[in-house]
Copies of this chain bind each other. A is one copy, B any other.
Amino acid sequence: MTTTPPAKRRTHLSFNVLDMAAVSHNNYGLWRLPSNRKPHYTDLSYWIDHARAAERALFDSVFFADLIGVAAGYGGSNDVALREAMHVPNIDPVMILSAMAAATRHIGLGATVSTTYEPPFAHARRFSTLDHLTGGRVAWNIVTTYLPNADENYGVLPGQYAHDERYDLADEFMQVCYRLWEESWEENAVMRDRVNHIYTDPARVHRIDHQGRYFSCAGPHLCEPSPQRTPVIFQAGSSGRGKSFAGQHAEVIFVGGRTWEAVKANVADARAAVAAAGRRREDVRVISDSGFIVARTDAEARARLASYQELSSADGYLAHQSGAGLDLTRFSRETTQEEIISLGGPGAAHMSRYNYPAGTTVGEIMDRALLLDRNPFLSVGCAERVADQVEEWVETYDLDGFLCRQLETDATIRDIGDFLIPELARRGLHRGAYHGGTLREQILGTPRLADTHPGSRYRMKASNLAGETRA
């Protein structure tokens, strides 16, 4: 592999916790660990403790993946998914955020919401509400969802939206949201003037009157401006269209990849998409999916990895990979990924996103269906060893930070906080403390969307409009 000199990057890495409000997410079988509190995911106290632990560890955010259907496919039924508690049962992570906010002061709170199934007006209101309640600490991870059961649950007909059309719909969804968040209420619309009996100046609140291909929305937005207005936008598009969408809208892009080369290519694609959208490198943080098992000593960390591997469920990983309708058991062990992709269909599209090395066979995929094999970034050891690896990865792969899978609650993030973060802070790679302010200030150093962000266009328009109206 040739190592090109990395472009200039921020000194402070962004560490974020990846989890899902479900029993198992990317770590199948580990719910059986007696020390893992994950089966208590329906208890409010579980999530409050989680948020506090992550804040104690100085993470930038806790971040919820989400899935709004059962990923059937493997064996042709829901059976493995349900037995493994693979993403299901789950609960709606958005509902948990205000309780986590009340128990913390600094940490960002992010949730995944799809743009395909719900009206943008309702979504914009929910996230404005959460941005108020969290004091400007909310983030939204945008997904477009490509899961047959999700379509069935929301009444979307088969074939109603092809993969790329979901991004067209998402583009329009974003436009409506930006207009509600940035344009509808001018900065000084809320007066709270007790003497003259004016709470809001009606001249400074505007309808948006959006009439598009997919949505119609009049406004005005119902919420007065929240600290960040637009929540911090996370995105992880992996297709060509998805990468372009992320380049336009995302403020934090997270990448994965089956191989080191794939990760490197994905990071480069993300940076290129950002540039192609006319945005600056420093407007966007690119972080990688990762697993860190850190302990006092290398031996302790390796022992923990071994205990995880012992309980890990190959069935769960295979079912996860088969999620988009591709049942690997239908193929012989000798079938190559290229042969599967050549068959076309959503399963093949999903398959192609895994980026296996050329010629990988179904047999090899099944054999590698073990803890974390989907991503090369697994680091296991004492703080020094893991910090060395972090440094190397950041340089080699041009990364701004990590989205850390929670393998065991609360051990994973507690140990990252106790061992890894202080070591990185000593090396000047982590800020080592919260500096206050909103989540966007914490991650990107700026309170509102950058001027290069497409959402900022509407903010400008509102100011101009106001100027014209009252000129």
Contacts and interface: CB of A to CB of B under 8 A. Distances in A.
A449 interface: no
B83 A126 contact: no
Given A154-B121, A217-B153, A91 B133 contact: yes
A57 interface: no
Interface in A110-165: 117-119, 121-122, 125-126, 128-130, 132-135, 149, 152-155
Contacts of A96: 98, 129, 133
The prevalent SS among residues of A at the interface is: mixed
Contacts of A103: 102
A216 B197 CA distance: 48
A103 B98 CA distance: 11
A153 B218 contact: yes
A198 to B, nearest CB: 5
Contact of A218 (B32, B44, B152): B152
Contact of A83 (B34, B132, B198, B217): B198
Interface in A15-47: 21, 23-24, 29, 31-32, 34, 39, 42-44, 47
Given A92-B129, A102-B103, A190-B89, A83 B202 contact: yes
Interface in A349-381: none
Given A119-B154, A153-B121, A83 B220 contact: no
B77 A199 contact: no
Contacts of A132: 42-43, 91
A309 interface: no
A192 interface: yes
A387 B285 CA distance: 62
Interface in A179-193: 185, 190, 192
Given A119-B155, A133-B96, A190-B89, A84 B199 contact: yes
Contact of A223 (B44, B84, B91, B98): B91
A220 B117 contact: no
Copies of this protein, total: 2
A331 interface: no
Contacts of A197: 29, 32, 83-84, 313
A303 interface: no
Given A39-B192, A44-B133, A70-B220, A85 B199 contact: yes
Nearest to A212: B155
Contact of A154 (B32, B155, B201, B217): B217
A121 B70 CA distance: 13
A294 interface: no
Interface in A218-248: 218-220, 222-224, 226
A253 interface: no
A90 interface: yes
Contacts of A466: none
A39 to B, nearest CB: 6
Given A42-B132, A42-B224, A44-B101, A149 B218 contact: yes
Nearest to A122: B118
Given A42-B133, A119-B154, 14 more contacts: A42-B132, A42-B224, A44-B101, A47-B133, A68-B121, A83-B199, A84-B197, A88-B220, A91-B133, A92-B122, A95-B130, A98-B98, A117-B122, A153-B219
Interface of A: 21, 23-24, 29, 31-32, 34, 39, 42-44, 47-48, 68-70, 77-79, 82-85, 88-92, 94-99, 101-103, 117-119, 121-122, 125-126, 128-130, 132-135, 149, 152-155, 185, 190, 192, 194, 197-202, 205, 215-220, 222-224, 226, 313
8 contacts: A68-B122, A82-B201, A83-B202, A89-B222, A89-B223, A92-B125, A95-B98, A118-B122
